[in-house]
């Protein structure tokens, strides 16, 4: 198995929990429990919540935001490595 195939499989496996992290993060940012928040393309507030500290007093938001940042950083790193080796 080539390194490109291994990286592609890693990208796929690492992408599986993305819905979990995004769901938790979006529910906090948009302050809703509605499941439809996951299918709506609302990105501006989500990006602000990811890059800035929208709710500094909310410890759950800060924890989820930091976990989501780490997750996305690793995902981006895997993607860049895949593009380089491809």
Torsion on CA atoms 53, 59, 62, 68, rounded to nearest 10: -150
Task: Say yes or no to pLDDT of 82 above 90.
Answer: no
Please check whether residue 49 is in contact with residue 85, taking contact to mean a CB–CB distance below 8 angstroms. Answer: no
Where are the chain's structural domains?
3-85
Residue 36 dihedral angles phi and psi, to the nearest 5°: -70, -10
Per-residue model confidence (pLDDT) at position 39? 81
Per-residue model confidence (pLDDT) at position 36? 83
Per-residue model confidence (pLDDT) at position 19? 86
- The 10s digit of each residue's pLDDT in 6-49 is 888 998 898 888 888 999 999 999 998 988 887 878 788 999 99
Distances 9 to 15, 24, 79, 80 between C-alpha atoms, Å: 10, 25, 11, 14
CB atoms within 10 A of CB 77: 11
Per-residue model confidence (pLDDT) at position 70? 96
Compute the distance between CA of residue 68 and CA of residue 14 in angstroms, rounded to an integer: 13
């Amino acid at each position: 198995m080539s390194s490109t195939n291994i990286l592609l499989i890693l990208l796929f496996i690492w992408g599986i929990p993305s819905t979990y992290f995004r769901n938790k993060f979006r529910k906090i940012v948009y302050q809703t429990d509605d499941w439809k928040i996951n299918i709506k393309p609302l990105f501006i507030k989500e990006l602000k919540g990811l890059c800035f500290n929208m709710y500094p007093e909310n410890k759950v938001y800060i924890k989820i935001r930091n976990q989501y940042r780490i997750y996305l950083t690793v995902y981006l790193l895997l993607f860049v490595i895949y593009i380089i080796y491809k």
